[in-house]
Amino acid sequence: MIYSDAYQGYRFSSDHPFNPIRLRWTYEMIEELGLLAPGELRGPEPASLEDLVQVHSLSYIREVQRLSEGGPIRDSSVLYGLGTEDDPGFPGMHEAAALAVGGTLAGARAIASGELLHAFNVGGGLHHAFAAQAAGFCIYNDIALGILALRDAGLRVAYIDIDVHHGDGVQEIFYRDPQVLTISFHENGRYLFPGTGSVEELGAGPGLGTSLNVPLEPFTDDASWLELFEAIVPPALASFRPDALVTLHGCDGHVLDPLADMRLSTRFYWQTAARIHEFAHEFAQGRWLALGGGGYELLRVVPRAWTLVWAEMRGTPIAEWAEVPPAFNARHQPVGTDPLPRLLVDPSGLVPPLDRQSEIAGRNRATLARLRQISPLL
């Protein structure tokens, strides 16, 4: 696991929803559950300028550095997606974003060299950043740089994104690359940022067919999302034959998350991590780089979801009735609010079915049918 308290520096403002305290709380929960053996925790080092220019334009990096040093917002800043409501800029922004990239690069390089089979950078997963534009709370695209490190080591890479938002930045960077498969499951862009990710976005040029998008209906539950996940991911991986998997475990599709409209539980994040672990060994010789991503219910959801991911990566069985450390809940219980969840895995009754659940599932199956019609991988 790759983590440092220095990740707390990636903080736009005190009231911005992208709050790095969720990373600290995830680390605390993992540690208190005894899921970190000696040597399993690694600290990141900032990515270098030489690293960053593999994906990002030098002029964009210089603008990030200028704002990071306290420079004023200019018209050019906004053209780069900086100084906006989503990405307002903050002192030390360049260093904080470069550290997130460095953590992902450390994991990718350790996997490429054979030092590790699995790595989890809890502070990574900034999938909306483009080559010369910030977007959606993302300054530098650590995922793209991690994929490049694996690809440049001669590995074909499959990227699987289950964050509730479309992985647009990663897709754009590799849209014409036949050595990188991108698969994004997300809430339909008609209803949610960034508004992209239709099934028709299949890649271009030599990369035609290596982008798969699965836009899901609002209020999709565990069962419907998992149905499409199982229908799409195994055949796509079998067709593409990757040498390494890179996965994004954004947990902002949880029913308690305030920024989206899905009805997932932590059981979903547990189950998908288990299946991805199986896919890594079945299709990619075990090579698996996992990243955090989105998640805006900072205390009740993110630490539990990512603890389950890490437990799966290290091969630690988790029982359905496994408890959150009581000391964790006692320490963090907000005054005057409902008790924090007691179990790591949400009980099945947490998300009662909607009257429209079968209709929603039917619309998702129609999306699957359309994707099967047009994708050469399925």
* Cβ burial, residue 115 (10 Å; 0-12/13-18/19+): exposed
- For the chain, the first-to-last Cα distance in angstroms comes to 33
Radius of gyration of the chain, Cα coordinates, nearest whole angstrom: 19
Residues written for the chain: 378
Phi, psi of 135 (to 5 degrees): -165, 150
Phi, psi of 216 (to 5 degrees): -105, 155
Distance CA 288, CA 307 (A): 16
Please indicate whether residue 118 is annotated as part of the active site. Answer: no
Distance CA 284, CA 271 (A): 19
On whether the CB atoms of residues 121 and 106 are closer than 8 A, the answer is yes
On whether the CB atoms of residues 280 and 245 are closer than 8 A, the answer is yes
Cα distances (Å, whole numbers) of residue 31 to 103, 179, 309, 311, 344: 19, 37, 14, 11, 14
Cβ neighbours for 48, distance < 8 A, ≥ 6 positions apart: 98
Choosing from 128, 165, 186, 277, which is the catalytic residue? 128
Three-state SS for 65-133 is HHHHCCCCCCHHHHHCCCCCCCCCCCCCHHHHHHHHHHHHHHHHHHHHHCCCCEEEECCCCCCCCECCE
Distance CA 321, CA 319 (A): 5
On whether the CB atoms of residues 141 and 55 are closer than 8 A, the answer is yes
Provide the CA 103 distance to its chain's centre, in angstroms.
14
For 132, the token pair is 């010369």
Active site residues: 128
